[in-house]
Amino acid sequence: MIGTPSSLWLNLLTITLTTSTKQSPFCTVYGRDPQFDSVHITQDTPSGKLSTKVQSVQQDFKRELEFFINWFKRYADKSKATPPVFNPGDIVWLSSKHIKSKRPTKKLSERWLGPFPILKKVSTHTCHLKLASQWNSIPPIFHISLLKPVKTSTIPNQNQEPPPPIIIEEEEEWDVSNT
């Protein structure tokens, strides 16, 4: 590995910080960072040669640092899409991701609940919804990542909402007219 760029062997050094512990493996084992006396500079090394070596090392580190800064930025920006804009009065679906269902398994539950109107926008990323009366135990403020706008159909009478369930002895019952 002699003569290879520092980007290839930098991760193999025992003094390189790991992402999980934020310290070097040497520090993890011995509880301290290694001490380097000098960079093995002899008295007869010309200062101009030393200066160019230091500048070369600094440029390599700067290039590596810029590469990783751009890599982390690109990775972080992947999950940062522009959030949808919701206004009071908009009708939205609510994700059932964090809402416990009475169904036997989550797989059989509805993925989106509602639709519900937005009463007001609490902040840029949270909305206050008008929930149904049977959901009084749930706080009505939700993050916009849990909301999806209702798409209205251009065909009249295309989508008809199912009637709400009849609650008998604190259990939901459905009245079926046809089988």
Per-residue pLDDT tens over the stretch 19-48 = 766 777 777 777 777 776 655 556 566 667
Q: What is the mean pLDDT of the chain?
A: 78
Task: Break the chain into its structural domains and give their ranges.
Answer: 6-36+50-78, 81-152
Helix (H/G/I), strand (E/B), else coil: 41: coil
> pTM of this prediction?
0.47
165 Cβ contact partners less than 8 Å away, ≥ 6 residues apart: 172, 173, 174
Residue 118 burial (10 A CB sphere; 0-12, 13-18, 19+): buried
Of residues 50 and 143, the one with the higher pLDDT is 143
Q: What is the pLDDT of residues 108-125, one digit of tens each?
A: 888 999 899 999 999 989
CATH topology of domain 81-152: SH3 type barrels. (2.30.30)
24 Cβ contact partners less than 8 Å away, ≥ 6 residues apart: 13, 14, 15, 16, 17, 18, 33
Q: What is the pLDDT of residues 67-84, one digit of tens each?
A: 889 988 888 888 777 778
Both tokens assigned to 24: 């070097």
